[in-house]
Amino acid sequence: MTDALVVPPPTSPTRGERALAWREVDLDAVRHNVRLLASASAPAELMVVVKADAYSHGAPQVARAALEAGATHLGVAILEEAFALRRAGIESRLFAWLAAPRAPYAEAIGLDIEVAAYSGAQLAEIAAAARAMRVPAQVHLKAETGMWRGGAADEWPALVALAHRYEQEGLVRVVGVWSHLACADEVDHPATDEQRDSFLRAVEVAEAAGLRPRLRHLANSAATLTRPDLRFDLVRCGLAAYGVNPLVGQPAPVDLRQAMTVRARVTHVKDAPAGAGVSYGHTYRTSAATRLALVPVGYADGLPVLAGGGGTVGVAGASAAIAGRVCMDQFVVDLGDLPVAPGDRVTLLGPGHDGEPTAEQWSAVSGRSRYETLTALGRDRLPPVYVGERAAT
Ligand SMILES: Cc1ncc(COP(=O)(O)O)c(C=O)c1O
């Protein structure tokens, strides 16, 4: 008989000798940003958007930090994200805005989750679930105002009339009327004023139909920080809560702190001659004799392949160039004469304290949006480590 193979027990890949790469999430930075947003938007209430696992920061952890710092609501895209937050013990007001026909509305109603209706057919489904549950559904009606994504366009008058009828039957409570801005990141973009006017008309139509929605909401992070006239009763902030500037071409008007840092350990260092072609396609050649470090993170972990075209990392307290294409699991850094050895820490992205680029700078280099830069990082091989986590009360 042969001996059984001995497989090591699962350990945290973020700790000790085994650490390869990880996401460090600073919950104190989240609290700081949320406090700024709450005071900037008051008296409007603040919904912190924690969809996509809180833009890869960890939804339950960010949700708790945001609520501690003054958020009154949480927002997610899909119902499953809302269910997961309830399973994690989050009891706050919680809004999920994206569902397909035959969505589990009864479960949502049972868990006190607020849902969105974009059409009469969707509202009828929600009302049917409420009837079965004998509990009114809390609904936010979404109006098309010029983004042409979700929301009722020509159907809006019929949708609000139906909602009013369901309210009178005790099946629905219209808690919100809302829409979403397409171009608020470009301050002074004319589409934003057009959307505001269209939104105000939609609210008027809803009120004329007899609805009295307590929460009119339109603003994302960019509008929250630049357009006081668009804050209405509630703002929905994602990017700024994570400390990333939501504005294009200008700095954020408040002192945001980036919460996400991605780090890894160097696995290998070697000398290379001048003219060495590095990585797939030889898109990078060393300009002089140098030292190269191998970093065990790649596009399978969410890094953009093209970060090699001008991207940098923080290592040994300085900034060093990514040499050539990012591969699936690894990339190369041109160290020059920086004193780096296997096992040393490299910072790929963060607030900039260790010579690393910010999320905004990564985006500029890779051609990805800041949202994409963050959400792409939510992979198993980059497990999260929390800074500033407090015991759940
Ligand atoms: C409907 C909705 N509201 C609010 C937000 C938050 O936007 P931001 O991250 O720009 O604040 C998003 C994010 O995309 C969204 O889809």
Query: Is 328 marked within a binding site?
Result: yes
- Coil, helix or strand for 281? helix
Low-confidence ranges of the chain (pLDDT < 50): none
* Residue 38 counted as domain residue: no
pLDDT for the residue 297: 96
140 close to 116: Cβ distance less than 8 angstroms: yes
Question: Domain with 117 in it: what CATH number?
Answer: 3.20.20.10
pLDDT for the residue 5: 76
Same-domain check for residues 201 and 72: yes
Catalytic annotation on 280? yes
Query: Best substitution site from 49, 185, 372 to test ligand 1's pocket, by max atoms within 8 Å of Cβ?
Result: 49
* Residue 25 counted as domain residue: no
Pairing verdict, β 284-285 and 234-237: unpaired
* Residue 33 counted as domain residue: no
Same-domain check for residues 282 and 186: no
Atom of ligand 1 nearest to the CA of 371: 9
- Coil, helix or strand for 148? coil
Same-domain check for residues 310 and 227: no
Return the residue whose CA atom lies nearest to atom 8 of ligand 1.
Answer: 238
Atom of ligand 1 nearest to the CA of 236: 4
Tell me how far the alpha carbon of residue 259 lies from the centroid of ligand 1, in angstroms.
17
- Coil, helix or strand for 104? coil
* Residue 6 counted as domain residue: no
* Residue 319 counted as domain residue: yes
Catalytic annotation on 142? no
Atom of ligand 1 nearest to the CA of 51: 13
Same-domain check for residues 294 and 218: no
Neighbour tally for 11: CB within 10 Å: 11
**Ligand 1 lining (C-beta closer than 6 Å):** 49, 97, 180, 220-222, 236-240, 246
Give the active site residue among 51, 55, 118, 299: 51
Question: Domain with 348 in it: what CATH number?
Answer: 2.40.37.10
DSSP assignment of 208-257, as one string?
Answer: HTT---SEEE---HHHHHH-GGG-TTEEEESGGGGT----SSS--SS---
247 close to 225: Cβ distance less than 8 angstroms: yes
Task: Identify whether 384 is preceded by a cis peptide bond (ω within 30 of 0).
Answer: no
Longest CA pairwise span in the chain (Å)? 82
Atom of ligand 1 nearest to the CA of 240: 11
Cβ within 8 Å of residue 258, ≥6 positions away:
29, 242, 243, 244, 350, 351, 352, 358, 359
pLDDT for the residue 378: 87
Residue ending a domain, among 211, 241, 271, is 241
Query: Is 134 marked within a binding site?
Result: no
Torsion of CA 45, 51, 54, 55, to 10 degrees: -120
Same-domain check for residues 235 and 264: no
Domain hosting 381: range is 260-387
Q: How many domains, the chain?
A: 2
How many helices, marked H, and strands, marked E, lie in the chain?
11, 19
Tell me how far the alpha carbon of residue 12 lies from the centroid of ligand 1, in angstroms.
32
Residue ending a domain, among 241, 269, 286, is 241
Tell me how far the alpha carbon of residue 236 lies from the centroid of ligand 1, in angstroms.
6
Same-domain check for residues 74 and 205: yes
* Residue 251 counted as domain residue: no
Same-domain check for residues 273 and 369: yes
**Which phi and psi angles does 118 have, rounded to 5°?**
-110, -10
Tokens of 54: 């809180």
Same-domain check for residues 346 and 291: yes
* Residue 34 counted as domain residue: no
Give the active site residue among 166, 242, 270, 280: 280
**Which phi and psi angles does 238 have, rounded to 5°?**
-110, -80
C-alpha distances out from residue 115 to 133, 142, 178, 186, 210, Å: 15, 10, 12, 29, 20
Same-domain check for residues 310 and 356: yes
Tell me how far the alpha carbon of residue 237 lies from the centroid of ligand 1, in angstroms.
6
* Residue 36 counted as domain residue: no
224 close to 24: Cβ distance less than 8 angstroms: no
Same-domain check for residues 184 and 269: no
Residue ending a domain, among 206, 241, 276, is 241
Same-domain check for residues 284 and 213: no
Same-domain check for residues 208 and 289: no
Rg (CA), the chain: 24
Return the residue whose CA atom lies nearest to atom 13 of ligand 1.
Answer: 238
Tell me how far the alpha carbon of residue 238 lies from the centroid of ligand 1, in angstroms.
6
